Structure 1
C-alpha cells in the first residue's frame, strides 16, 4: 500500500476503524475474527489502527492492544490511535478536557492497551467548558513525557483547530466525511490544509449505508445504533437508498462495488486524506483496501463529477445524529 502524510506522521493510505468490533453495529460474538481482521490489515499495509477509550467502555482498546501484541509486527511499524474526551451521563453525550482528566485518560488507555506509548492521541470532542488551550497544554506535556507521539483533534471547528494548533501542533483532524456528510469542506478542510494538518475521515462509507448492503432497517440487529440515527429512519431511509442505487449503477459500470467507489471518492481528495473505514471481517477489509488502487488509477475528473451527481450532498435526508448525540457532535 502507498503511504500518506498526516502532518509529520507517515501512515498507510487507508486505516482501520476498530469501534464496530466492540460496540454500536450489532452483536459482537467473534473476537477471534476481529483480531484476525486487524492482523490481515497489517499484512495489507494498513498501519493506522483507530480506537477510543469510550468504545465499549475500554473493551475495544483491550482488544486492539492484544491484537497488536500478538501480531508479530514490529511495534514501530504500527500507528495506534486512541482518544479521550467523550463522557456519557444518563444517555447524553458530553465532553471533558481538563488537564488532569486528559492525563488520567492517557494512563488508563495505556494500561488497557498494554503498550508503552500511544502514537496518535485525539481529543475526541472539544469540551465547551474548558479552554482548548488547557487541553492542548496537557497533550504537549504528554508528548514531552513520551507517553504519546502526536496529538490530534476530532469533530472540531476551524476556530478550535487554530487555537489548539497555536499551543501544540495538531497532527490530524478526525471528522466524519463521506459522500453523504460534507460538512468539513467549507471551513475545516481549508484550515487544516493551511496549517499542514492531515485529515482522517471516519464513517467514509456512511456507517455502511453507501455499500448498498443495508436495504432495510430490518437488516440491522436489534442492538445496532444505526436504528436510532435519523438517516436510517422512515422516509429518510428510502430517500437515501435512492442515492445508493445511483451510486451502485456507476460502480457496476466500472466493475467495482458501490462501497469501493464511495471510498475511492474520499481517497481521491488528497495525499493528506487517510480514511478509516471500520469492519470486523476480513472479507470487507480486503474489499475496502482495494479502493486505494481504484482511487489511484481508475477515477477521472469526469468519474468524480458523475459520483457527486449521483450522490449530491443536497439529496441526503436526515440529520447525522439524534438530539442526544448532536449536542456534542463538534465545536
Structure 2
C-alpha cells in the first residue's frame, strides 16, 4: 500500500521538476496531480504491451497514481497494471493504486454471448443474483463487491489497495428508486469498512459519470451529501472506532471534468445546510479527494481549436493536450486529473504538462465570467 513516507519520498525525487502543486496532499501522503488512466483500448496482447510500457514510463517519471477497474478491457487493464508495478523502479509504497467494482467483468476477451457468460459465471455460481443486476451488467451487492475486490487484488498482484471505488452506482437507478440505491451504497460501504478494518484497502470512494453533476431532478442524480451520510452510518454500524479509525473510509470521488464538461464546478446541485453547492465545493468541504476522469475528453481535446480560444489563451502548455490537462488540474478541489496513457510518447507529453503551473483559483473562476 502507498504510505506517507513512501509517497513523500517519491515526491522528493520528482517534485522539483514540476510546477506549482505538481503533487497534492491526499490523506497523510501525496499524489501526483496527473494520473494514469487505463480505460480505453481493445483487449489484446498488443495493447497490453503498450499499456505496460506506458505505465512503467509514468511511474519512473513522476506520476505515482494509477487508476483502473476490474471491467476495463476484460480485466486486462488490472493485470497489466500489476505487471507494470512489478517492472517499475518505483516501490509499491510510493505508488497509489485505485480500482473499481460494480460492472460484471469479462475475462480476457468479450464472449460471443455476453448474456450466457453472465448467467454461467455470475448467476449460476451465486456471485450475483438477478434481482441485484441492473441492465444485465451492473451489481453493487456486498457479496459481489467482496468477490470482485478479491479478484482485483489477484489481478493486480498486490496485498492491499489504496482506493476502491463503487463504480457508477447511478446505473442502478434504471431499475430501482433513488432511496433504494442509497441503501445499496450503505450496504456496500459497510462491506468496504470491514475490508478496511481487515487491512485489504486504505480507503474507498464512489466513481461516477453522471450522478454528481446533473440536476437534482435528473434520472441519474445522486446527492453527494447523502452518500457521505451513508458512509458515516456504515462506519458507525461496523464500529470502526473500536479498530483505531477516526471516522469513515470514504475518501474520494471520481467524475468527468474538462473544459467541455465542467458541470462539477458550475452546477450547484448538492444541498448542504440549506445551501446548494457544486460537487467540487461539496467534496472539498467534506474533505474528499477528487479524481477527474475524461480530463482530455478521451482525446477530443488533443487538437488545436478544441479548447475555446478565450480559455485556451489563459492556459499554460505547449500543446492542446497539455493545456487541457492544466485546465482540469486548475479547478479548486481537484486532487488528480486522470488521463488515459497507452503509449510512452503520450506519457512524456502529459508529464510535461505538469512542468507548467496550473491556474490559480481566481484565474480559474475568471474563465467562466
Q: TM-score range by the shorter chain?
A: 0.7 to 0.9
Structure 1 residue aligned with 2:252 = 172
Of 76, 82, 97, 1:65 maps to 82
Of 206, 209, 213, 2:300 maps to 209
Give the stretch that moved more between structures: 72-81 or 158-167: 158-167
Q: CA RMSD in A?
A: 2.9
Give the CA deviation at 1:300.
6.7
| 1:134 partnered with 2:187 | yes
Larger relative contact order (Cα-Cα within 8 Å, sequence gap ≥ 6):
1
| 1:181 partnered with 2:264 | no
Question: Could you give the per-residue CA deviations for residues 234-284 of structure 1, whole angstroms, max 9, x where no partner exists?
Answer: xxxxxxxxx616449946996621221111111112464210111211112
Q: Please list every run of 5 or more consecutive structure 1 residues that lacks an aligned counterpart in the other structure.
A: 214-242, 310-331
How many Å separate the matches in 1 of 2:316 and 2:341?
A: 24
What TM-score, normalized by structure 1, do the two folds share? 0.73
Of 236, 250, 256, 2:318 maps to 256
Of 323, 338, 342, 1:280 maps to 342
- How many residues are paired up? 275
**In the superposition, relative to structure 1, how do residues 264 and 170 fare at CA in structure 2: closer, same or farther (>3 Å)?**
same
Structure 1 residue aligned with 2:62 = 45
How many Å separate the matches in 1 of 2:315 and 2:282?
A: 36
Of 205, 209, 212, 1:152 maps to 205
Give the CA deviation at 1:175.
0.5
How many Å separate the matches in 2 of 1:259 and 1:93?
A: 36
Of 156, 164, 167, 1:121 maps to 164
Of 83, 96, 103, 2:146 maps to 103
Q: What's the secondary structure of 2:34's corresponding residue?
A: coil
What TM-score, normalized by structure 2, do the two folds share? 0.66
Question: Could you give the per-residue CA deviations for residues 34-67 of structure 1, whole angstroms, max 9, x where no partner exists?
Answer: 2111111011211110110011221111111111
Q: Which has the larger radius of gyration?
A: 2
How many Å separate the matches in 2 of 1:121 and 1:265?
A: 26
How many Å separate the matches in 1 of 2:290 and 2:315?
A: 30
Q: What's the secondary structure of 1:118's corresponding residue?
A: coil
How many Å separate the matches in 2 of 1:250 and 1:82?
A: 32
Question: Could you give the per-residue CA deviations for residues 183-209 of structure 1, whole angstroms, max 9, x where no partner exists?
Answer: 222232221111100110001111110
Give the CA deviation at 1:169.
3.0
Task: Output aligned runs, 1:173-252, within 5 Å.
Answer: 173-185=253-265, 186=268, 187-212=278-303, 244=306, 246-247=308-309, 250=312
Q: What's the secondary structure of 1:295's corresponding residue?
A: coil
